[in-house]
Structure 1
Amino acid sequence: MITTCVRRNASRGLCAAHDAAWRKAGRPERKAWIADPANWPAGLGLDVAPCLVSGCPHSGGLSCLCNLHLADLNGLRSRGQRVSVRQYASAAPVLSRPATRRCGFPDCRYEISRNSLCDGHHYRWTKVGRPPLAALPTELKLRNAPSFSVTGLSPLVALEFQYLLQLRTDQRRSKVTPSSWVRAVNTVIAEGISSVRDRPAHHWHRLSLNHTTVPQLFADLLEALGDLEGPAEEWDRDVWRPDRLGYSIEERQRVAPLDFTGITQPWLRQSIKRYLRLRLARTELRSAARNLHDFALFSRFLAETCPDRQNDPAVLDRPLLESYIGWVGRRTVERKGPYFGQPVSPGSRSRLLSAVSTMLETWRRYNWQPALPADARIHRDEYPRPRGLKANFIDEQLMEQIESEENLALLDPETRTLVLVCRDEGLRISEALTLKTDCLKKTPSGRWALVHYKSKDKSFRAIPASRVVVDAIQEQHGRVRERFGSACQWLFPKVSGNPDGKYPMPYGTVDTRFDAWLKRIRLIDSNSDPAAVSWHQFRHTLGTRMANAGVSGRTIREILGHTSWAMQEHYSRIADDTLRREYEEKYEVRFNLKGEAVKIHRDGDLSGVEWLAERIGRRLHAVAGGWCGRHISRPCPKTAADGCYFCEDFQSDRQFLPIHRDTLARTRELQSDAAAVGRSRAANVNAQLAAAVEHVIARITDQENDGLVPASDDHRPDHRGETEEEADAG
């Protein structure tokens, strides 16, 4: 918006330099500030301005003050005085120093400060990377007309830096700032080399210790150049990058590149690469990455046990594998954490043995070369005996603290939405982070369904969504649209280095936020000791709550998306004797408080969602006259059974009409008795309850149409003075 500026606008009509100047000026009214020609110069110009202190003969550098006045201001601040630059400049005296000679910058009239430059030009010289003084005017021009120059580099190095710039542009993640670029270029020029690969990565890092982004430029450049020299086929490389193998962002969530360099035996590495390539055709990427870690441990065992036979495939005989079984049994947890130093669990030991055993069987089946010894086998009965499954749910005392509205209000909106999704829907955190902005779908009967990617079987599935989760997701979608418009497909986009909304939020970001929040709310257990929970425990907690409420194992399995029946043993062994087929044959109609028909449409694409939501709703008898449709993860706020008649989650149908009519008769009798003895408050309460019961009976018995509409506000029962929020929570 400033016509004299050659930089590209980046923030509401201002380039980065002008936006910083506007902020430094105290964020005045933006349009007026832009219209003032006095604010048009910004950035590191060739010409310097005088020090802000009136009458000072020196040029201004950092904070537009000369070095003498800047040192004086810093002294005041170190003694506790909070003085702004402009306040100081308006009252500061003129400070003098011995005259020397004029600044070495062309046409500069100010006196030298140091390095043959005045204060202002010395500040600019340090900001552009301390180039040779003769090149300073050129460097300042480049900074004001943003570009990335390769002047002074040898032809090959110039091509290497241009390739780096193209890669960074294509990735659209982190920015390359002109100052970092200039410093990196000047560093290479000072080395006088023909290629960046003439020096190792640690050499460039050592030369750039005082900078934060320059070492990363060299690291990215060396990695990119190394990739160019590698095999054309990704499968032939020693590091497989999932994105180059064609895996989507959902599939490679929380999976690092598959690095085979940890397998030090070349003959073993080739066979393992061949095996994992086969395995990736039928299993998820995360499982293959876990197997690769197991094979790296096996390679380490070979290096420790048989250091003199690293190039001999015949080392894989039965005696060696027996030694490996014992070595695995003696292993302890090496990763820092609560289990550090403890014996590895039987499940982990079984996984290690199973990975090697399956790989050897595949090797033998396809007769890969070099051939294995005939006795190179690990038998199934040699695996450790498994322990019983453990339901790793969160204690309800901890859940009360986590679910407290006061504590949830301390979370940022994004992480709060993730907590609600994991708590109410039982999603894995990797599945929640890859939710799309259009993840909410509506069934024909009006239920909300949450569609997410299930990494276990590489498919999308739909599950019922609670009202709390629907509201939170819709608010989060609004925040995403406000920031990225309609271009971003992720409900939880990456916070930084993501200008186009191309990447979802990484796990490390939300995990750090979540841990910081747990410390902030001071989560404590029953012994008043600090407690910690993980994201995955919300999934176990939902399953446990459903089991405790009487939800069948079949329904739990469907809701949580388990691929095996053994997993639902975490929660319950309750049999489900009411089949979905029987329910659909009845095609029964149920009515909620609004008078809306609650029924299943068997022909709909999302009928499975409706059935799962129905099974959750039927898990608990609210009163003798119906069911509670409230989501299992949200406890009932009512303290009296009759309160269900005033709750929008209450559902009933024709089979309960005798109970409702009996309740109505008894309530009218109590109303009459109270009125007869002058107890007006009791009579009023019973009158309201009778009206609510009559409303339910009327909606159940209304035969005019199947798609009943909500009752008008004039005919809805009074909620006894409840606020709208209290009624919704009912």
Structure 2
Amino acid sequence: MSETSHMPADPEKAGPERPRLQLHTGQRVEEPTPRNVWDIEYDREVWRLRELGIRARIAHILFDRIPQPWLKDLAKRWARWRLSTGLGAESAASGTRAITHFAQFLASPAVRVVRLDQVDRPLLERYLAHLHADYAGRVVHRNFMGQLNLFFLAIRQHRWNDTLPASTVFFPEDFPRYDERLPRALSEPVMTQLEQPSNLDRWKTPAYRLVTLILMRCGLRITDTVRLPHDCIVHDADSAPYLRYLNHKMKREALVPIDEELEREIRDHQRHLRDRWPHGTPVLFPRSLKNADGHEPTDDNVYRRAMHQWLKACDVRDEHGRLVKVTPHQFRHTLGTRLINRDVPQEVVRRILDHDSHMMTAHYARLSDTTIRRHWEQARKVDVTGQTVALDPEGPLAEASWAKQRLGRVTQALPNGFCGLPVQKSCPHANACLTCPMFVTTPEFLPQHRQQRQQLLQIVSAAEARGQLRVVEMNQQALGSLDRIITALEEDEAPGGAEVADAG
């Protein structure tokens, strides 16, 4: 028998190292040449992310509805580059959808753009009108514009096509007005129900109960939670525990402090994992089915569906008796709001939530009205004569008084107190507010009062030396007011005086 007689009938099937492809029919065939998987998928109209080794909530990225070959190739280059930098598949697919919508506009009979050099600023202005007609400022409107801007920027940066006009760009003024929304924190009555041990024990899957605890207490995003590494707990020099995780949105590792109780829950869960996977698992929440080696993490959509069933079993209702609808991300909003309302500094909250921008954390600070009001109610308030201003927090005018004080802070902010004058009236005093009977201040402004008093003393002394009696007279009245205010407020600093919380 010849040596070649041992060869398989189909030489393309020789060798187990040949890459395999999954067809849409479910049949598996051998790839004829050992090409790179990216080369194989790149030529397809529909990219199969699993073939690229990408596990995501979406399975495909679609290019089949981009009719222009030149635009389709640029879209593929952009998507491949973004995925290779570690960008999430959902974000890459979002960019492709934006290009697809733009491509349909370019191919319409009224436009008929056939080359990249025709995509100029006047064309974009026509597309702006087209977007407004289709989406009228909705989130997808801004998203399509933002993704296209990134696409144009990448073309220029990488010199993929030098014919793109320099004027092809969306300006900030082009974007529709963004309706800034406050964080959707859950109310305390709802959170009290969700945090009850009896309700937490209603989870049929213990792992999902732990996921819920981490969402509530650490404020992680659900995607980051289900992908936690098995070895996710670290300790500082004082042996305090921290949860270590990968912030996929910011592409960096982050730490969040946890309490000893949550650490015990995680340790118990790790021991249960070793019972099923004695050799260990790389993830803390491995998928329960079709996961022999324990390497596949739980899908966040599977948890969302289980969470929906858990909420129904707990019969959690809001203050109006209605069944609540909760998303995993609302636990993050709730934690941020709670921290701000408990006087945790905004920078600390930013680090706990691992925000990249202070502006993101500032959304939670806007919800701290209860914190500011509590300080206002607790602080001793005196007027320009040094007399105490009473405000009953439970009285019938409490809400109205608080609203007026808030308006005073916003519309008549002063360096050393607040104006108690109704905002409908104009101030009849040409002098500083220290001579105004509507002026109100608290101990938190004592440093400013002392500094201003020192400055007034210097002014009065200099005016007396120059014989400027009018200047002395004008400032003596303010100086007398400051002396009375400081004397009254310093009583709180004396031993036995009332302790006033620092509003800063």
TM-score range, shorter chain: 0.5 to 0.7
Distance apart, 1:438 and its partner CA: 1.2
Q: What letter corresponds to residue 459 of structure 1 in structure 2?
A: R
Equivalent residue, structure 2, for 1:300: 104
How many Å separate the matches in 1 of 2:244 and 2:289?
26
How many Å separate the matches in 2 of 1:307 and 1:164?
52
Is the CA contact (8 Å cut-off) linking 1:234 and 1:244 kept in structure 2? Answer: no
Equivalent residue, structure 1, for 2:275: 482
Is the CA contact (8 Å cut-off) linking 1:353 and 1:383 kept in structure 2? Answer: yes
Is the CA contact (8 Å cut-off) linking 2:105 and 2:127 kept in structure 1? Answer: yes
Aligned counterpart for 2:335 among listed residues 542, 551, 563: 542
Q: 1:316 to 1:382 in 2, by over 3 A?
A: same
Q: 1:155 to 1:525 in 2, by over 3 A?
A: farther
Relative contact order, CA 8 A, sep 6+: which one is greater? 2
TM (norm. structure 2) is 0.62
What secondary structure sits across from 1:526 in the alignment?
A: coil
Q: 1:572 to 1:449 in 2, by over 3 A?
A: same
2:126 equivalent to 1:323 = yes
Q: What letter corresponds to residue 563 of structure 1 in structure 2?
A: D
Q: 1:420 to 1:295 in 2, by over 3 A?
A: same
Aligned counterpart for 1:290 among listed residues 85, 91, 94: 94
Aligned counterpart for 1:233 among listed residues 33, 39, 46: 39
Q: What letter corresponds to residue 388 of structure 1 in structure 2?
A: E
Which aligned pairs between 1:577-596 and structure 2 lie closer than 5 A?
none
Ranges in structure 1 where 5+ consecutive residues have no aligned partner: 1-153, 172-196, 202-217, 333-342, 575-657, 660-730
What secondary structure sits across from 1:491 in the alignment?
A: coil
Q: 1:227 to 1:299 in 2, by over 3 A?
A: farther
Which aligned pairs between 1:24-423 and structure 2 lie closer than 5 A?
218-221=25-28, 233=39, 236-238=42-44, 239=46, 253-254=56-57, 256-280=59-83, 284-285=87-88, 286-303=90-107, 305-306=108-109, 309=112, 311-332=114-135, 345=138, 347-364=139-156, 367-369=159-161, 371-373=163-165, 375-411=167-203, 412-423=205-216
Give the share of equivalent positions with the same residue, in percent: 28
Equivalent residue, structure 1, for 2:426: none
What secondary structure sits across from 1:451 in the alignment?
A: strand
Is the CA contact (8 Å cut-off) linking 2:316 and 2:324 kept in structure 1? Answer: yes
Q: What letter corresponds to residue 96 of structure 2 in structure 1?
A: L
Distance apart, 1:471 and its partner CA: 2.1
Q: 1:484 to 1:227 in 2, by over 3 A?
A: farther
What secondary structure sits across from 1:219 in the alignment?
A: coil
What secondary structure sits across from 1:309 in the alignment?
A: coil
TM (norm. structure 1) is 0.44
Equivalent residue, structure 1, for 2:355: 562
Is the CA contact (8 Å cut-off) linking 1:253 and 1:430 kept in structure 2? Answer: no
2:303 equivalent to 1:510 = yes
How many Å separate the matches in 1 of 2:345 and 2:75?
42
Q: 1:435 to 1:364 in 2, by over 3 A?
A: closer
Distance apart, 1:321 and its partner CA: 1.8
Q: CA RMSD in A?
A: 3.7
Is the CA contact (8 Å cut-off) linking 1:318 and 1:377 kept in structure 2? Answer: yes
| Count, aligned residues | 359
Distance apart, 1:419 and its partner CA: 0.3
Ranges in structure 2 where 5+ consecutive residues have no aligned partner: 1-7, 369-494, 497-504
What secondary structure sits across from 1:261 in the alignment?
A: coil
How many Å separate the matches in 1 of 2:33 and 2:167?
40
Aligned counterpart for 1:429 among listed residues 209, 222, 227: 222
Distance apart, 1:407 and its partner CA: 1.5
| 1:380-423 CA-partner distances (Å, limit 9, x unpaired) | 21111223342111122221221122211110211110000010
What secondary structure sits across from 1:233 in the alignment?
A: helix
Distance apart, 1:572 and its partner CA: 0.8
What secondary structure sits across from 2:182 in the alignment?
A: coil
Is the CA contact (8 Å cut-off) linking 2:121 and 2:167 kept in structure 1? Answer: yes
| 1:459-513 CA-partner distances (Å, limit 9, x unpaired) | 2222211233212211211221111113311111011111111211111211111
How many Å separate the matches in 2 of 1:366 and 1:453?
29
Distance apart, 1:560 and its partner CA: 0.5
Q: 1:503 to 1:550 in 2, by over 3 A?
A: same
Q: What letter corresponds to residue 331 of structure 1 in structure 2?
A: D
Distance apart, 1:159 and its partner CA: 5.1
Distance apart, 1:529 and its partner CA: 2.5
Distance apart, 1:245 and its partner CA: 6.0
Distance apart, 1:276 and its partner CA: 3.8
What secondary structure sits across from 2:365 in the alignment?
A: coil
Is the CA contact (8 Å cut-off) linking 2:244 and 2:254 kept in structure 1? Answer: yes
How many Å separate the matches in 2 of 1:548 and 1:483?
43
How many Å separate the matches in 1 of 2:313 and 2:187?
19
How many Å separate the matches in 2 of 1:468 and 1:240?
45
Aligned counterpart for 1:495 among listed residues 279, 285, 288: 288
Q: 1:566 to 1:226 in 2, by over 3 A?
A: farther
How many Å separate the matches in 2 of 1:446 and 1:374?
56
